[in-house]
Amino acid sequence: MSSFSLPTTTTRTRITIKSTRKTTTTRQNAGGRGGKGGWKRVILVKASSSFGEEDVDGINKDSSSSSSSSSSYRQPSNQSLGASSRLESVHKKPLFTLGVFADAQYADKENGTYGTRNKYFRDAKERLKNCLNEFSENAHALACVINLGDLYDGYNEDSAENLYFRDASSWSEEVKARNVKEFNEMVEITEKSLTKDLKLVSVLGNHDMAVTREVFKQKMNFGEDDYYKVELPRNWVLLCLDTTDMNPRYVDENSEAWKEGHAWLASKTEEFKKRNAKPWSGGIASVQFNWLKEQVDLAEKEGKKVIVCSHNALAPGSAREGMVAWNADVISSYFESKSETVKVCVAGHDHPGGYIQRGNVHYVTIEAMLEADCGTSYGYLEVYEHECILRGVGACKSRRMRTSEWGRFTGIANFGMLTGDIDVIDSNDPEEEKLADWINDQLRTPSSASFSSDDSDDLIIRR
C-alpha cells in the first residue's frame, strides 16, 4: 500500500542550531484551529567558516582543498560521514496512515446552541459525506478509516428516575421509527461516500445504542463481537473496544457485564457517581478486559505495536471528568505497564477533545464533528517507526506523539522535538532566512497546524 509523505527540501546549507535563554519573546500558534501553544525561540546561527562553503550538490568548495578544475570535485557517497545526500535516504515516510473522525451525531433537528455549546445536527450528514469523500480520494494512502462512535444522535424514552436502566421495548413506535430512519440515512452515506476498497472500522458509542446494539452491529458490519482486532501493516495492531460495556443501561439485563456494572456502581458513593460515572458512559467489563490483555500479550510476543480505539477515553485527564471510561484508571494503568507495546489510544465522546500522555502512552480524544464551528473535524493519523502524527482538519487538533523510549537513538535528527521558532542572527544572507522560515513551517506543521493542500503532493484536501 502506498502512502503519502512529508514535504522535502533540497536546501543543503551547513548550519548550526542552538537554543538561547537570552530572549524573552514568545509567539502563539493557533494549535490546529482552536488550540493554543506557546513557542519558545531557537536561534539559527551562521556556521563557522572553518567548515568551508557547500554548494547545493554537497561539494566542499574550500579553496585550500580544491583544484582548479570542476571535474576534480567528487560528490561524497551516501555513506560518507556528514554527507548531505544522506538526508535524502532518511526522509520520513509513514509506515501507514489511518483516517479518524468522531461524533458526527446527525439528527433531524435545528442547528443551534444547546446549553453552552453549538451543535450542528442537520449539517452532520453533509459533513460526514465530505469527510468520507476526501478519505476515498486518499484511499491509496490509508490503511482504514476509524469511526469513533455516535454516528447519529438518537432518541429515547428512558426513565429520568433511573438512568442506569433502559427498557427500549417500552418506547413508542414513533421514537423507534425515527431512530431507525436517521441511523439508516447515516449508514447510507458511509456506503455511498466511502470507496469499497477502504475499510470502515467502527466502535460502539452511547448514542448508537438507540437502535439497539444488534441493529447497529449488523448495519455497520461488525460481525459477531462487540470488540475486535484489526491487523494493520508493518507489525501494528488495532484493538477496537466497547466502552458501553459494564453500563447496565446498554447491556443485556442479567448478563455478566450487567451484574458487574451493578456491583461496581453499588461500591461507589453518590458523589463519586455524580462526578465520574455518568449514565451516558460505561467501561470495560472483566470478560472484555481479559480479552484485551490476551491481545496485548500476543502482540508483545509477536513483536507488534498496538493502537487502541474506543468511544470513551481510556485515561483520566484525556477528557473531562465524567467523560472517560468508568474504570479508566485501571485500564490506563495496565496500558502503561505495557508501554513497549501499547502506543496510542484514540477516542471520541467528549466533544471538546483532549489529550494526555501517561508513561509512554498517548491518549487522544478527537474533537466532535457535530460541534465544529469551522465546519468539520477529522484527521489523519500517520504512524512512523518512532512517532505518530495526528494531522487535524478543521476543529481536529494536530498532535505529534513520540512512541519510542526517551533516550533511545532513533537514527534521525528531529526538528519536531524543538519547541520554538527559529530566527536568523548575525547574517544578512537571504538564503539562511529562507531556511529558517522553512524550519519554522516544519515545526508548526507536525505539532499544531492543520493540513493544507501543500503538505503532500499525494494528499488531496478539500476545504
In this structure, the dihedral spanned by the alpha carbons of residues 178, 282, 125 and 1, taken in order and rounded to 10 degrees, is: -140
- Strand, coil or helix: what is 214? helix
- How far is residue 388's CA from residue 346's CA, in Å, rounded to a whole number? 12
Query: Edge-to-edge strands of the sheet including 305-309?
Result: 228-232, 236-240, 305-309, 342-347, 361-365, 354-358
Q: Are 36 and 29 in contact (CB under 8 A)?
A: yes
Q: Are 34 and 395 in contact (CB under 8 A)?
A: yes
- How far is residue 300's CA from residue 297's CA, in Å, rounded to a whole number? 5
Q: Give the global pTM.
A: 0.73
Q: Are 183 and 269 in contact (CB under 8 A)?
A: no
Amino acid at 3: S
Q: Work out the widest C-alpha separation in the chain, in whole angstroms.
A: 94
- How far is residue 128's CA from residue 221's CA, in Å, rounded to a whole number? 18
Please name the residues in contact with 328: beta carbons below 8 A apart, sequence gap of 6 or more: 283, 312, 313, 314, 315, 316, 318
For the chain, the residue count is: 463
Cell of residue 73, nine digits: 570535485
Cβ neighbours of 170 (radius 10 Å):
9
Enumerate the β-bridge partners of residue 42: 19, 422
**95: DSSP letter:** S
The tens-digit pLDDT sequence of the chain (463 residues) is 433 333 333 333 333 333 333 333 333 333 343 443 333 333 333 333 332 333 333 333 343 444 444 444 555 565 555 555 555 555 578 999 999 999 999 999 999 999 999 999 999 999 999 999 999 999 999 999 999 999 999 999 998 888 899 999 999 999 999 999 999 999 999 999 999 999 999 999 999 999 999 999 999 999 889 999 999 999 999 999 999 999 999 999 989 999 999 999 999 999 999 899 999 999 999 999 999 999 999 999 999 999 999 999 999 999 999 999 999 999 999 999 999 999 999 999 999 999 999 989 999 999 999 999 999 999 999 999 999 999 999 999 999 999 987 766 655 444 444 333 444 444 566 666 667 667 666 655 543 333 433 444 455 555 4
Closest CA to 164 of 326, 324, 287, 365: 326
Predicted pLDDT of residue 444 = 54
- How far is residue 311's CA from residue 145's CA, in Å, rounded to a whole number? 15
Predicted pLDDT of residue 114 = 94
User: H or E element: which one contains 399?
Assistant: strand 399-402
**31: DSSP letter:** H
Which domains does the chain carry? Answer: 96-383 (3.60.21.10)
DSSP-assigned letters across all residues of 335-365: HHHTTTTEEEEEE-SSTT-EEEEETTEEEEE
Query: Cα 46 to chain center, whole Å?
Result: 37
Predicted pLDDT of residue 460 = 59
Please name the residues in contact with 292: beta carbons below 8 A apart, sequence gap of 6 or more: 227, 239, 241, 284
Q: Is the dihedral of CA 220, 223, 226, 232 positive or negative?
A: negative
Q: Parallel, antiparallel, or unpaired for β 117-119 and 112-114?
A: antiparallel
Predicted pLDDT of residue 160 = 86
Closest CA to 186 of 233, 228, 232, 126: 126
Predicted pLDDT of residue 61 = 36
Q: Are 78 and 85 in contact (CB under 8 A)?
A: yes
> Phi and psi (nearest 5°) for 182?
-70, -35
Query: Cα 354 to chain center, whole Å?
Result: 11
